[in-house]
A and B are shown apart, each in its own frame.
Chain A
């Protein structure tokens, strides 16, 4: 199993097709990343997020034969995660809405990472920043919140986001710009 550490995701997928033990390596590589992603894009409790994460890995395991090495494995697994989360959100439309991440750094990083944030009010540098960003993120449409998370926090390229969300690259770029604009407007409004 130690050898697996040096192998690429695609190589491990190939090995996993014949040997289930190799699949554990994929789970270990992605569980933390995907857990964070689920919590960032959806307003969920940690337990629900864990259940969804399990569902994601079950789907990944079942569909291993469908993985196409022309795509990045990370894009493929994020796409499955996106679909599982969206499907859950649609089913439990009336469920409670809250963002479970208590990590203030998460929200501060969000603003720091956004280029051209100089036009944001200076007061945002205050202690309240995380509360404000959290509130504003909650107000953003689901799709906008997700592209911002993928681009600024998961550090995915436009092409990867296009593969994850299954949208044309142009549309991803438009969504990111609109999401940024809305986020800034809402932050400005909240601060005024």
Chain B
């Protein structure tokens, strides 16, 4: 044995250095993989929420409301879910790099694969209405509801012919009473509404959140050409 070898072996014995048990390595690796899978699933869920909120925007109404809301238009970007998705996929990137062979893959491959998984899984969750149900669930929470209300504002521009709010009363098939997000009450005439895309009848019930598209007659009075559910049905 050489001098250095002797020193090393002596040090191991003298200081009572022991091997780290295998279970600790197994546990550590399992933890990395479990957190990776969890982050991918949650990240994909966040992507599905982004999809849900973007797809459910009435993009055709944007030109109508845009001049009135100006930069307020940026409120429709689902920042909350976008931020969560980005944070989770940044975590996925670093967590994957921590797997045993993670370093073998370049940043482009990891980011590209993560994006594909996020979109495929996200689309799946959206398709099976998981994001819609989750959105309804989160709306019961005050912080989420407030955020949502902020976004809702841009769809409430009476002088541009769009109001949105909750139906508080039905007056036969001629009118509805609507309370908008600013808590103004509107008498909305629905005699002339188009049965737009087959979705009107289903949406006329008390408590439902809708958008009325038409013309403001006077403060508190609105002539609707079209009634849309606040969110597009699929």
Q: Chain A residues in contact with chain B, CB under 8 A?
A: 17, 20, 23-24, 27-28, 31, 35, 50, 53-54, 57-58, 61-66, 68, 162, 166-171
Contacts and interface: CB of A to CB of B under 8 A. Distances in A.
Contacts of A35: 4
A61 B25 contact: no
Nearest to A167: B103
A64 B19 CA distance: 7
B18 A62 contact: yes
Contacts of A63: 19-20, 25
B170 interface: no
B184 interface: no
A65 B2 contact: no
B106 A170 contact: yes
A47 to B, nearest CB: 12
B109 to A, nearest CB: 8
Contacts of B18: 62
Which 3 A-B residue pairs are closest in the complex by CB-CB distance?
A166-B103, A65-B22, A66-B25
A23 B17 CA distance: 13
B197 interface: no
A50 B8 CA distance: 10
B1 A61 contact: no
A168 B12 contact: no
Contacts of B5: 24, 27-28, 31
Given A20-B12, A62-B18, A63-B20, A54 B7 contact: yes
Given A54-B7, A167-B103, A62 B17 contact: yes
Contacts of A50: 4
B202 interface: no
Contacts of A54: 4, 7-8, 11
Nearest to B23: A65
Scoring A35, A54, A65, A170 by chain B CB atoms within 10 A of each residue's CB, the highest score goes to A65
B55 to A, nearest CB: 37
B103 A61 contact: no
B106 A58 contact: no
Contact of B12 (A53, A58, A167, A169): A58
Chain A interface helix/strand/loop/mixed = helix
A112 B17 CA distance: 43
B27 to A, nearest CB: 12
A172 to B, nearest CB: 10
Given A31-B4, A65-B21, A58 B103 contact: no
Given A50-B4, A169-B104, A65 B17 contact: no
A54 B104 CA distance: 29
Contact of A62 (B9, B20, B105): B20
Given A27-B9, A63-B20, A65-B21, 8 more contacts: A31-B4, A50-B4, A54-B4, A58-B8, A62-B17, A62-B19, A63-B25, A166-B103
B234 interface: no
Contacts of B17: 58, 61-62
25 contacts: A17-B19, A23-B9, A27-B4, A27-B5, A28-B1, A28-B2, A31-B2, A31-B8, A53-B4, A53-B8, A54-B4, A54-B11, A58-B8, A61-B12, A61-B17, A62-B17, A65-B19, A65-B20, A65-B21, A65-B22, A66-B22, A167-B103, A168-B103, A168-B104, A171-B106
A61 B9 CA distance: 10
